[in-house]
Structure 1
Amino acid sequence: MISILHGERAEAARSEAFAALAAARGGGPVMVVVPTERWAREAQRRLAAAGGGVGPGAVARRSVVSWSVFGDAVAANVGAQSVGGAEIRILLRQVILEKPDRYPSLVRRHPESSEPFVTAGMLRRVASAVVRLLGETERPKSAPKAGSVPAQILELASMTDVRLGKVGRAPKRIAEVKAWRELTAVRWGRLFPGVERVVFSGFDVLDDLFVEAVAALERCGVAGEVLMPVPPDEAAQRFPHLVAAYGRLQGEVTVAGKVAGGGTARAGGGGSARPKVRLIRVANRDEEVRLMGAYLQEQIRGAESAGKRFVFEDYLVCFPSLERYAGRVESAFDDFGVECRFSTGADVTAQPLWQFLADVRSAVAGDLTCGSLLQLSRSPLLRTLTGEGLNEEVFVALRARLGGPDRGAAFLKRLRTFRGKLEKRIARLADSADEEDTKKRQSLQSELEAAGALEHGLALLMDSLAGLDGRRDLRTWGKDVLALLDTLLRGVPFLAEEGIRAVGVFRFGKTRWRIEQAIIELGQCSEILDGASVDFADYFALLEELLRGDKVMGTLPLTAGVGVVGRLEVRGLRPKVLLLGGLLEGEMPRAAPRGRGLLDDYLPEGKPREIELSEERFVFEQLITAPAEETILFVPKMDRDQELLESQFVTELLHGGRAVPVLQAEEFREEVSGAAGSVERQLLLGERAVGANEAVDDGGGGRNLPRVLHNAAWSIAADLERHRTDGLGVFDGFLSDSVLVSHLQERLKKQIHSPSELEVLVQCRHRHFIERILRLSEEDDDEEGLTPVKLGEIVHSVLFRFFSRWVAEESGLITATSRAAAWKILTKETEAQLDEQAVSDFDRDHLRGKLLGMGVPAGSGKDRIEIRGLPGIFGALLDLEIERSEANPEAAAPCLFEIGFGMGGRLQESEHDQMSDPNPVELKMGRETVRLRGRVDRVDLTDDAFSLVDYKTGAAPTIKAQLEGYRLQLPLYLLAIAELLKRRGERREPAGGVFYTLKQGEAKMAGQFFREEYRDAGAFGSRVRLLDDDKFEDAMDTITVNVELAIRDAWRGRFYVTTAPEATACGYCPWEGVCRKDLGRTKNLIAALREAEG
């Protein structure tokens, strides 16, 4: 029996692993264990259709199960009872509300009825704290203060402990941990007869649950093998308790050939013939799969050499998480001819269609790449629809969704570049006789052929779209989307009926920012289907029903959904069936209570039908069977205070918000009195009438606010004060006034941007609009003394002076020998800089300690000493430079400092600065040109390349954010310096850039945007992961496309809310109070402010 355990985080499982499984097939039944019930139901249906066998044992009665069902079966077999997070929250609510006066810090009271309640947020936080306490083996040694929140939580933990029994740290796996602890050989044999070996692979093996599982296997006489994708030294350092646990089980732990904690691996040992638990280093997921396949093949060969027959029943193979790549798993089974497959017959089109639609959906968001194009070209569904490869009709539809012919040219260029890379790689392997190289060359050749077909199709498409107007409105663009979906759906055999209707299919699960805008863009859509909440098994049946009807369905969170409803109504799309609720967040909706007045103005005549839901699937059954004239309204569960707020909040949203908030004039004047005399104040208070075409200029030579911007500024100011009225403004980020858009376009084309400004524009168009177009400024903190900004300025100034002198004296790289001389110059320049600061003596001493080290005495430079035990910023910097010079004495040397461009006359003068230019650098970003200004802290040079160093006294951007194209400083500066060097007649390759994060006592390199080819120039250690040429070029392409699209959106007046991940764009945003990214924030903000105001 083979069990493939799909966890949550692993990647593609294909090639050798499945080849080994196919080669080893001994006729036993296949049992598949998948991460969720949704996938389990679909896989079970497909296996049944394929005639798949049902394995023995309690679990195997369902030949496809989820991990939770698998664990529950084990738990039930040993008598453990599952306790989930929801159950703990229910119990805590009951305990708290039984004696609310006992927990005053956790309970709120209704303002009118004074009834006690616990908010959902508070309940989640308390439950989390209780679970953590219950997972600890010892209680705190010192009791918290009586009546404090910690004391109340500790008491709740004790009561919960009594009611539930001792539980672990992860409520969802409590039963499983207990079950594995109690599992015996007898029970194991009853569950999995014949299984004598278990192999775990992937990051999930780091879970304590797997330690318990391996321990249970040991007790049951089953051998355990662990392939852990962690470098061997990290395994012992980061997860010592797991390494120790595995070591106790088998007597020793082998980490890539060495025993963890020292010593070498021994063959056998501990009196057991079974293999030891091995922790094997895996560089990536593909290598993990390869190792798994190689391991199985090794077992096959061993069985054959011993004259034994290798069968499935010998192994239970656990693969964590292939959910996102089920298509590849399916293809692997098909390729290797495994009898029990995921899909057969007509149903083969179901999963590929879903996968293809998801990929096309990504293309709408601007994520289409050469790799995904190649994936589309090989889609089984696409071959079914278009014969061999992509035909022109599908390409026309696909291209129409990508925003105009200019973007198509960019993709064509990138595709040709991609083909060129493939051809070079094939040429390098042409003369090799190695079998592995031959396989690789054949694989690359097939990719080259697919890329050639794509290039040919795109070229035909570009010719056919030569006259396409790139300024089409959103409605036309939405029709093109539907045209493509209609083309695809008509190719599916069981949906090819007369009267088939176009359906917009969107996966909103992790992209909630797109929900509202997508539905606005698809304003003419006859049906809108959110596939994220539909079970695969019911998906196509539901799809057919929707195609025959005239229904509009949106499974949206309530606070986001009602805003969409108002906009649908404006466009004449009044849905017959409306589904609102928290389905996307996994909450069970329930019917709205009568008499509350929620959405009464919107609902048609008659009361909404009330439906009590037992499970999520019931929602869709009701949706399909509901008469066309009925409206079903579902709302999520909420606390009583939230219900009251929700009622008022939704009513306002359904009316589209108010153009002018209901504020008393006197109150509003007080709020903005600090802006006396400013244009904002005059506009917001209405002291100046602004006509339809009149522009307001404050005489500052740049502010120009016609009526549309006046309304936008008013709306944003109203939002900032909306906790007084619960109202929302009407501005949604799209400017419709053509005169205004034209004016902005002219102004923006002349604008000189800094990298930080472009980062804001790329991350969130709306924030850029507020700060750069309306020029509204966030509140100043009025910090006194040494601010982080001031500290950064001083550090940059000292380092500029220091390195300028150091290079002038031709001192070369800083080494341990020259450290004393470097320190002398640094202390002298630091003291000179400190003398120039207009700060108190206390601040000056404090600053001296941060820069030169704590405990440094006052006095002249020659008497200064450094206490190495408490180094300052500059001492740590010198140590870092010494490390680099020792790593490679031929590393790139610091040469140029504070290179400014586009700054006008604001340039620092230096005899070594021969590159600074008061004029901006013009960079070509796709079809657009961006004028850039900035100042590069440091340029290091070798004979043929240059690299950049940027000093940060705060946090530095991560390499992930740079590769995703959201943090632009180093990539843009690389392009700018390359252009400045070219002006000077020098041709050097950009090696990359790095951030120096400088803190007291610590200096290190971060965010290394650096090419592997120039590792020695950057003096990086062998363990530092750098970028190969392909990744470097892909990252630069991504940044180019992001900037190009952002600039074009700004020129067209499109300032919508962020398209970047929330962690990237929203972490430090000062405009959270006016953001539509998640309208639920508004409700929480209102509640918090009301509570604060009493």
Structure 2
Amino acid sequence: MPITLVKGSSILASFDRIAEERLKAGRYSSFVVVVPTRRRIRELNRLFIRQTPGAAAGAFPLFTLGTLVHAVAAANLPARKPVPLHVQAVLMQRAIDAVADGLVYFSVSKGSGRKGLSTGTFQKLASVVNGLREAGVGVEELRTEVEANELGEGRKLAEVLAIMEAYEAQLGNSFADPALEMRGVLKVFASEAPQSVWWNAFPSKPDVLFIDGFDEFARPEFELLEWLATVPGLTVVLNFDFHPANEDLFFHLEDNYHSFSGIGFRPPDRPSRAHVENSPGEHEQPAALFHEHVRRNLFRHDDTIERIDAREFVTLIEAADREAEVDTIARIIKARVVEKPEADLSRICVATAHSGAYTPLFREAFARYGIPANITDRYRLDASPLVVGILALGAVVENNFRRRDLLRALTSPYVRPGVDAANLESVSAGLRITAGARKWEERIESRLSVVENQLRTVDDELELSLLEREARMLRKGLDDFRILKEMLAPLSGEHTPAEFHRKLLDLLDKAGVESSLRPHRGPSTGPTGIPGERWEDAERDSRAFATFLSVLEDVVRLRESQNPGPAPLFDYLADLKGAVSLSRYNIRQRYGYGVYVTSIEETRGLSFDTMFIAGLVDGEFPAPYQSEVFLSVRRMAEKRKRFLFQERYLFYQASTNFKRYLYLTYPAAEGNAKELVTSSFVNALKAIADVREWKKKDGAEDQERVRILHGIWSRDELLRRVSEVMWREVSRPDHPAAKEVIKKLGHPIHVEQSRAGEHTEKAYEGFILDGVPEDMKETIAARRGGVYSVSQLETYAQCPFKFFAQRLLKLTPIEEVEEGITPLEKGNLLHQIFFEFFTRWRDEKQPPLRECSEVEFKEATDLLLSMARARLDLIHINAPLWELDKEELLGGPGRPGVMREFLENERRRPDMLAPRYFEASFGGRSGRSDAKLSSSDPVKIGDVLVRGKIDRIDVDDTSGLWIALDYKTGKIPPAKGMWRGEQLQLPVYALAIRELRNRARERAGAGPAGAFYLAKEDEVEIVPQLVPKEVVKNLGLTKKGVSPEEYESIVDGAGTFIRDYVTAIAEGRFPLTSSEKVKYVCKGCDYRMMCRIWVSHQPGEGGEGKEGEE
């Protein structure tokens, strides 16, 4: 129970009695109440309204210390404009600007203001300056501290002093922040009769002032109360939690206690009637005894302390992780509601020290269990997605359509200008657009022209659909960008404050910000049937928007009063960013609705029937001390010493504000990895009290725990339990609630059982012909006569389902954005460069590279490098590693580059093979292909038509040997893939060369061979996977070849595999890949998130790499 100190009449010491009596008598203005939080004011307002039934009531005399000071200042001091925290931020950054030239420790360039500091540094600096001033440390005291400094901190403290002086200069004679108001009030009390000051503020001359629920007071606050205690006829009653015998808990309050005693505050002469009237009821008596025991003994190191048995009403719960912790809390609450449906949920509180990690978990869990929740966190305005989106719109104009600003704005769900944000993101990523309105338009137009030209020549079905899709995306992107450019144009240039205000509001209207909030306003019924289930989201967004508009108006008014002329957008955005960085907002509390979920700090002065304290792990509660590095060493030491006691006191308050039950919960681990340490506060409580414990793994479980943790408390759980029983087919659950879902679960369970091994529902395992209409069956069957590319056949070989998703459903995944050049782009680039070089070298009848003189070889090298540079110049990439990527290809200091290494390898080859044909296509349009050998007709392998393009064919005219070479810039496919029918490229090329050679009436020699040509820095070589061993030896290669028998087996086997694949496609067989292929097929697959096999067969680390080894 809090102690009471009085200066004045002890008869007036009972807050509850005096308030009730005077409210009933209509004497609302005869007393004043000061409490620490606005939330407590709202609670008292509701209490006072209930105590004045049937009568009209004016504003009750309820204040925080800040609002009390403001009321006294307004009645006794010259008028000044009050400065809220967000306006203080703007003035603070202007103060930093004003002294920027003299700053060394904070190293801010002139004119940069807050923008020259990180957000964290600015917030910390503003907090330090405001904290010093609110603690009563003025300019002169800080100057004395700077001059007396002996620890080498002079530079730092001098700059803090300079910023404080500049800030107070910004306040001038027009503005007043809370610290300046307090300073003025103390001066007026010292210069005038205290009674006159008090009566000026309160003409009704109240005779009692209650100060209730505080823990400690700053020096100016104590001085204010000291002056108030001298007002004749005014009794000051001070209620605060303190016990003089427990310094391990109340150490930080001892100074206050002794200071008040020193100025005449004493306990009341006799116990007030309120203590008797408010004595706990029978069911609250055990909790009250526990509160007093904790107050006297918590954190004390004394072996003689007698333990209290609190097992009936205090429970300590260990959960596996945070999700399990929140789930357990929800179950306990749901069980209480089921037991007592009439229970008032608003009398249950769930509090955490750091709500950020828990709020979304509670919101989701309470919705799942059907528990109404009143989640009332205090949020940072600069972290609101809505505000981030609004500021990003301004940054788009300020930074000339920088891509990250544009996407930050457009990906906000509250910015709806009618454009396709995802499309703009994909287009800009593909074109490497980083900034510049002109570059946006030029690059999109240029790429659109290229794509439209490619559409005239491409023949691959997938490539054609991709190009058509890209063309649509580019046209849409260009149109959308122009819409955005026109919409944002009014913000360009300079504006007066009024103009900026009007134009920004117009922009927000056009961007659909306010309209995006309208459909969500007010309570709604969610899928669980709870009214207001998603109310918190809508309320939070609306509150954030309302707070932002208020901040905007204050910033505009400030600039009108100081700098009314035109200013650039940069200045307005700097003011706004500074203002929102220190702004906070709350979700409005809905009284009487749902479980109260908040931070522990917000529960001060409140009382509940049931209290949950969650997240009791070291590092969170108590939190680690964060040094105020901008203070002096002495002040830092003082703050560090008080910090732990403040955390202890907060735990004490939270663990004693319940009347019936207290639950303390903590997670044992963070997910499946990091183990967490239980809070030392829990151990301190267990040292003085016996509590009931629920351990994560506890064999001795009590009945209540079993009932709560293993009972069915949500619809989701009911579905899961019924599914498990039906899967085992032990029995059908005989429960009224289960009958509703059994019908719905029967079919999906039957399907899953089929997939698990019964195979009775083949249509759900990829064999789709039985489940599709006749016209679709005909369409699928017609694919038997289609033309297939090698990549299509390889896709089916690896995973038929992927072929189905990619080729039949045409599902195109959104590719991840890569800042540098992608492996695919690098491969295409080398193909183009080598094609241009070899065709030109051949057509100009230049000598083979191995026969070139030094001069001729230098000409070849220069030609290849010039072609490579020309191609690279067409690529627009603004990424840190792009220059290194170019150097890898072209060479640089100490590195020859891939181009030179490639030509050197060509020159060193001992064989008589000569590059003859390049990009030899079969079954495709002309495009980039070799006219000397290419054919528009596909190649027939068995009865299947196949198309493709061979990167290069080398020919030995003496032996008649032809070798298909496929360029690779990455990993070489494993040779074993040819035996499994998964790697068809080289066998198909060998078969294709036979037919192309016949069509061109070229000399037929040995069976065509196939090899990969690896073109990587420091690794340029030919990998002869399908080359006879004797040929490999003649080529001077170290890699193994194949025997004639192996060659024939691989090539003939490829024809069999291809026939089987096409037959399966035409018969509608598209099952998932086999389990033995998962480790190298599924890893990195674009469709893995929609494939069930990925869930049950996670590839091991390194599996893919091992599969790729030769």
TM-score surpassing 0.5?
Answer: no
What TM-score comes out, normalization by structure 2 length? 0.31
TM-score, L = length of structure 1: 0.31
Q: Which has the higher contact order (CA 8 A, sep 6+)?
A: 2
